[in-house]
Chains A and B, each alone.
Chain A
Amino acid sequence: MDKKKIVGHSEERWDAIAKVKGQANYTGDFSFKHLLHAKILRSTIAHGYVKSYDIAEAAQMPGVIKIFLPEDLPHHLYSTAGHPWNLDPAKRDIEDRTMLTRHVHVYGDDIALVVARTELQAKKAMLKIKVEYDEYPVYLTPEAAMAPDAMRIHPERENAFASSEVGFGDVKQSLKDADYVIARHLTTPVQQHLHLENQIAVAYQSSDQRWTCISSTQIPHICRRIVAQANGIDWSQVRVKKPFIGGGFGNKQEIIIEPLVVALSRALGGRPVQIALTREETIAYTRTRHAISYDMKIGVNQDGHLTAIDCDVLSNQGGYASHGHAVGGKGGTFINALYRADSLRFSAKTVYTNIATAGAMRGYGMPQVIFALESIIDDAADKIGMDPIKFRQINHQPDGFYNQLGQTKQRDFLIEQCLVKGRAAFHWDEKLAASQAYKTGVKRRGVGIAAFSFGTAVWPFGLETSSARLFALPDGTFKLQVGATEIGQGADTALAQMAAETLGVPFKSVIRDVMTDTDLDPYDTGAYASRQTYIGGVAVKKAAEEMKQKILKRAETEFKVQLEHMDIVDGNIVYRADGDLVTTVKDMAMQSYYDWDTAGSMETYSSINVHHNSYGSGCSLAEVEVDIETGQVKLLSLMNVHDSGKIINPLLASGQVDGGMAMSAAYGLNEELLYNKAGKPLNNNMLDYKLPTAMDLPDLEGVFVESQDPLGPYGNKALGENPDVSPAPAIRNAVKNAIGVGIDKIPLTPELVYNQYQAAQKAAKGDL
């Protein structure tokens, strides 16, 4: 008989009503008696050493409880990167920081803490602290930091602290063999996450004398470990609670302020202490997307065959290693996932500098490398005069390709379908033809495309484990507990849909909880790498299957119907053959609590370790209008097409696509965190850092090439980050189509576009 499908249906996200009513409590919404407030004193230089502090006047200011210098807090080295702990010390994140430091690596480094009764008192006291520095040279770029005479930013290791090279074949020879070689130096900017809720955390000593930290974190279980390591205490002594969280996008996959609030509470007798970063602090002094440059060469033959892809990468890490080379070193695998060439070389270095520490941000290196790749691929299509979609169609990897660099067979890899569907749905040919009427005059129009590939979760480069717990409540509903973390993306709703689908009960019968609590919720590494529905989904499915068996077993005992003849449909236990009712889940649940002879509540727990990956793909198509007198680029239309397997919740999935497209469009057009020569951030506020408003974006269109991934627990694979990858290069390529100039740098600000266009005009006239 037909089962009502819950997976694949746009169930209403369980937290939507609370959020529109203002009922949803975020970290800053909890009240504490006698809460203390801490402010971080930040360095006003980007590189140097604090010779001395004078805190005499500050310590006398009203409301001040205590001022902490680096010597006053634990000084265990740790990394803020939110990766699973690695049992192999050689593979751990570089531990290059302490809670506070005299050694300044970035402008705004954490050099002291002031704790006071109110935030205002803490701020006012902070202004009275006098600091003397020894100043060192400031390096803003990898090139500057790698100069032979540059001093080491961290004395323990070279500024170029990590490198890697992957590939196959003889790139030099393949380039020689090509009809044409195209070379580009492509650069990407520092982007910031701009989640609407700033970083905030509170810590206090709980009644069991352990330390509770309430935090806006994407990774509660990892947070517990890093807080404990930084404080030098047993991991079990820390309990992390994550309430509603106002966006993360990777920035809250870093444990930045949590170690500090726990250390302060420990130093102050367990009193509750809060750090709430300001917007200016969040933009400038938390984490950013790595600015990465690519020296890329490709060889192409007149018939469109790609002979070689050769790429030298420099990744600007900023002052601390954080996620480090995992971001800049990413790319070779996913270039190989997308296009076949006779040879490939992807050689990357990650380099300390004195700008803000770069870390995880939605896409994790993919927006950078795909910007570079899809720019030069598009230029190659132009070079041989081939339609850019056709050029990608003849060069993309086939479905079923085994990617040796990622040790993954690309099953159900549907880039071909995405390109075909994109061409039709976007009305590419019509828009391209229409743009011909706008190739002269002030307003020029063009269309552009970019494709991408994307992994799901991190295997084989990292651990993938998750767990889930289900228990039946007396009325036949189920409480689902997971460590997978809801951060606004809708993971909780998707996981609840999965549980309901497998159990055979209505969606509303599965209850989730806003709070992820490391004392209560089973282990999962958290929200990153578009992993939770894929990895967490396996755990949820297993727990739900076992629960279903427990329920049917109980029915079998009670009603003497063999288990294999029964199924659960919409909360009813029925005969498989004809759907006749045997009993209900509710009756069995009630019995499990209260039956005199058979009571024993029903709980299941699953813990899983996944050793596979499913690659997604897709493309973006953009239509722009460029004003050649001002350089202003107007985005007329933008479409993303996604191969993400089965779509669990179409409405929520579409929302992820919208948000990713907006973030990437702004990456291509507007957003960049800027520094002066001394390394001071110049635009760390929401006026000067150009986050798009509702007026800056067109209607966004997302399309799915839906299929059933053979490895995903419900046929699903990555989606959360994918939409944030290809819009920027599609826009770059559309601008090229409009004005005839391929610009190798983003964002495409009016100034940049104007100057590049003018330079191209002059070069064309031969008067350079």
Chain B
Amino acid sequence: MKQTIAFTLNGEAVSCDVDVRQSLIEVLRDEFEMTGVKEGCSVGECGACTVIIDGQTMESCLYMAVWANGKNITTIEGVAAEDGHLDNVQQAFVDAGAVQCGYCTPGMVLSSEQLLADNPNPTRDEIRRGLSGNMCRCTGYQKIVDAVELAAKNGGVKTDNRNKIPFHVAN
């Protein structure tokens, strides 16, 4: 069975017909080509598919696509400024060496964005708790925690960079 949903995706009003059995990650990747949303387990264990829905992080593999109707959704493609400049969190991930294979990175960046939006000056323990739903096998989380600390120090989340129309996704 199909249903039409309309929602805001990275600042842009969009709509589409979805199979009611589909998860949000399928629709984001297949219909909207938001391939920055990564699939690591499909059952809400790893956090790679994290997106932000109305100011809360959510694993998009667990979220039915039909529930997105009327929601405001940010994927990794919506984080950088319209001209492609990195925001504070992204830049801190680059500078702190928090990126290795990169597969957890989109979810990790989005969880960090929301963490800093909710708590602009977190302690390291609060950062660890805030990122505990996002698994990483490469980094031991060390430089990811460093990156979030660095981003907080550099001014945290600049909300004007959120929910913009994504820059063109190249390659």
A residues in contact (CB < 8 Å) with B: 10, 12-13, 15-26, 28-29, 31, 193-198, 244-247, 249, 278-279, 487-490, 651-652, 654-655, 658-663, 685-687, 691-695, 697, 699-700
Contacts and interface: CB of A to CB of B under 8 A. Distances in A.
Contacts of A660: 140
10 contacts: A22-B35, A23-B169, A194-B137, A196-B46, A244-B102, A246-B38, A247-B103, A247-B137, A693-B141, A694-B127
B135 A196 contact: yes
A31 B31 CA distance: 11
Nearest to B93: A20
B34 to A, nearest CB: 8
A324 B76 CA distance: 42
A697 B136 CA distance: 12
Contact of B48 (A21, A196, A700): A196
B90 A21 contact: yes
A694 B35 contact: no
Contacts of B11: none
B142 interface: yes
B128 A196 contact: no
B41 A279 contact: yes
Interface residues of B, number: 58
Contacts of A193: 137
B94 A693 contact: no
B145 interface: yes
A661 B140 CA distance: 7
A654 B48 CA distance: 23
Contact of A196 (B38, B97, B144, B170): B38
B131 interface: yes
B106 interface: yes
Given A20-B94, A652-B97, A695 B139 contact: no
Contacts of B134: 694
Contacts of A29: 35
A695 B133 CA distance: 10
Contacts of A195: 101, 103, 137
A245 B80 CA distance: 23
B170 to A, nearest CB: 6
B80 A26 contact: no
Contact of B79 (A21, A25, A686): A21
Residue in A246, A247, A663 with the greatest tally of chain B CB atoms within 10 Å: A246
A471 B145 CA distance: 39
Contacts of B141: 658, 662, 693-694, 697
B166 to A, nearest CB: 9
A732 B45 CA distance: 29
A685 B139 CA distance: 20
A25 B35 contact: yes
B41 A685 contact: yes
A26 B38 contact: yes
A196 to B, nearest CB: 4
Contact of B94 (A16, A24, A249, A691): A16
B38 A197 contact: yes
A21 B86 contact: yes
B74 to A, nearest CB: 11
A76 to B, nearest CB: 32
A278 B42 contact: yes
A31 B29 CA distance: 10
Interface in B142-168: 142-145
Given A21-B36, A654-B143, A655-B142, 5 more contacts: A22-B79, A23-B169, A31-B33, A488-B103, A662-B142
Nearest to B168: A23
Given A16-B93, A21-B86, A488 B102 contact: yes
A693 B132 contact: yes
Nearest to B138: A659
Interface string B95-112: 101011111111001000
Given A196-B101, A245-B101, A694-B132, A655 B145 contact: no
B146 to A, nearest CB: 9
A655 B80 CA distance: 24
Contacts of B136: 196, 694
A244 B171 CA distance: 12
A686 B134 CA distance: 11
Interface in B20-69: 33-43, 45-46, 48
A685 B43 contact: yes
Contacts of A692: 140
A648 to B, nearest CB: 14
A658 B93 CA distance: 15
Given A279-B42, A693-B135, A490 B36 contact: no
A21 B132 contact: no
Contact of A658 (B42, B91, B106, B140): B140
B100 A659 contact: yes
Contacts of B93: 16, 20
B129 to A, nearest CB: 6
Contacts of A655: 97, 100, 138-139, 142-143
Contacts of A691: 135, 137
A244 B100 CA distance: 11
B38 A654 contact: no
Contacts of B171: 18, 23, 25
Nearest to B167: A21
B139 A658 contact: yes
B8 interface: no
Given A20-B105, A655-B143, A279 B46 contact: yes
B105 A19 contact: yes
Given A197-B40, A651-B97, A694-B127, A685 B45 contact: yes
A488 B100 contact: yes
Nearest to A490: B100
Contacts of B137: 193-196, 247, 249, 659, 663, 691
Nearest to A278: B42
B155 to A, nearest CB: 17
Given A249-B137, A488-B102, A489-B100, A23 B41 contact: no
Nearest to B41: A279
A19 B41 CA distance: 19
B138 A488 contact: yes
6 smallest CB-CB distances across A and B, nearest first, come from A22-B36, A488-B101, A246-B103, A662-B140, A19-B102, A22-B76
Given A196-B40, A685-B43, A693-B135, A13 B77 contact: no
B45 A694 contact: no
Contacts of A19: 99, 102, 105
Given A488-B102, A686-B46, A17 B94 contact: yes
Nearest to A249: B137
B140 A13 contact: no
Contacts of B94: 12, 16-17, 20
B80 A21 contact: yes
Contacts of A686: 40-41, 45-46, 135
Contacts of B139: 655, 658-659, 662
Contacts of A197: 38, 40, 101, 103
Contacts of A16: 93-94, 99, 102
A23 B171 CA distance: 7
A28 B36 CA distance: 11
Contacts of B36: 21-23
A23 B140 CA distance: 23
A699 B142 contact: yes
Contacts of B135: 194, 196, 686, 691, 693
A692 B128 CA distance: 11
Nearest to B170: A23
A300 B38 CA distance: 54
Residue in A28, A488, A490 with the greatest tally of chain B CB atoms within 10 Å: A488
